[in-house]
Chains A and B, each alone.
Chain A
Amino acid sequence: MLYDKIMTLYPELTQQDFITVITLQNDSDGKGDYIAKWEHPTLPRPTDEELA
């Protein structure tokens, strides 16, 4: 699950972060969960390699 992978990378993230500055999305098109928005002020967007 994408959420778990991100939390493993950045355990300091909170549920509130996933409401305000990070949006994970799944369009039910078979492509799975993806990062639709990443606007965290200090943590960089994870790379595909980090999420693999």
Chain B
Amino acid sequence: MGDFMSIVLNSSGGGSVSIVEPTTASNFTQTLPASTGTVMVSGNMPAFSAYNSTTQSISNATDTKITYDTELFDTNSNFASSRFTPTVAGYYQIIASVRDGTGGVSGQLISYIYLNGGNNKFCVLPLSGAVGTTTVCSALMYMNGSTDFLEHYVRQSSGVSMNISASPNTTFFSGVLVRAA
């Protein structure tokens, strides 16, 4: 262990902790943010996943907000009323999945990620005619950490009303901060 290096945590006495490079390695670089940066740790990196526990009927040709009444997790309490409003600015990986729970119809199943009340990203898949067509929309999106919010909408063009599945495995809305602003 000739190259063994150590990291020392020093309390400032004010409740904060600093990381100091070993003095025996003058070329060792500390890569934490400079004085204006923010260190992201598990406690302040929002992540959420929610699903609807009851079947939801979707009118034909109508963009309909999916009601998410059950949270699998919501680490920063940023998900409420089927809406994700992160309080940390940055880039979020969002996944919005919806599954046809009716079957026997043709047309399209569209999964929309709405940003601030308007369609921002969408993914389209033809309805197969059998139960189970699942449209998954994934996008990397910037959120300002204060007013920006996301919702999951769905549209189907079967010509009649149809149900979407109520299952955490198929119809869900999730996201995680991957890089702070």
Contact = CB atoms under 8 A, between A and B. Distances in A.
B97 interface: no
Contacts of B65: 26-29
A15 B60 CA distance: 10
Nearest to B56: A28
Nearest to A25: B63
Interface in A14-40: 15, 18-19, 23-29, 33, 36
B61 interface: yes
Interface SS of chain A: helix, strand, loop or mixed? mixed
B62 A24 contact: yes
A23 B59 contact: no
A3 B60 contact: yes
Contacts of B157: 15, 18-19
Contacts of A29: 65
B133 interface: no
B161 interface: yes
Contact of B61 (A24, A27, A28): A24
A3 B59 contact: yes
B70 interface: no
Contacts of A4: 60
A9 interface: no
A52 interface: no
B128 interface: no
Contact of A26 (B59, B82, B107): B59
B150 interface: no
19 contacts: A1-B60, A1-B161, A3-B62, A15-B61, A15-B107, A18-B61, A24-B59, A24-B62, A24-B63, A25-B63, A26-B59, A26-B62, A26-B63, A28-B64, A28-B66, A28-B67, A28-B82, A29-B65, A33-B59
List of 7 A-B pairs having minimum Cβ-Cβ separation, nearest first: A18-B61, A24-B62, A28-B65, A26-B64, A25-B63, A28-B67, A3-B60
Interface of A: 1-4, 15, 18-19, 23-29, 33, 36
Given A2-B59, A33-B59, 16 more contacts: A1-B60, A4-B60, A15-B61, A15-B157, A18-B61, A24-B61, A24-B62, A25-B62, A25-B64, A26-B63, A26-B64, A28-B64, A28-B65, A28-B67, A33-B62, A36-B63
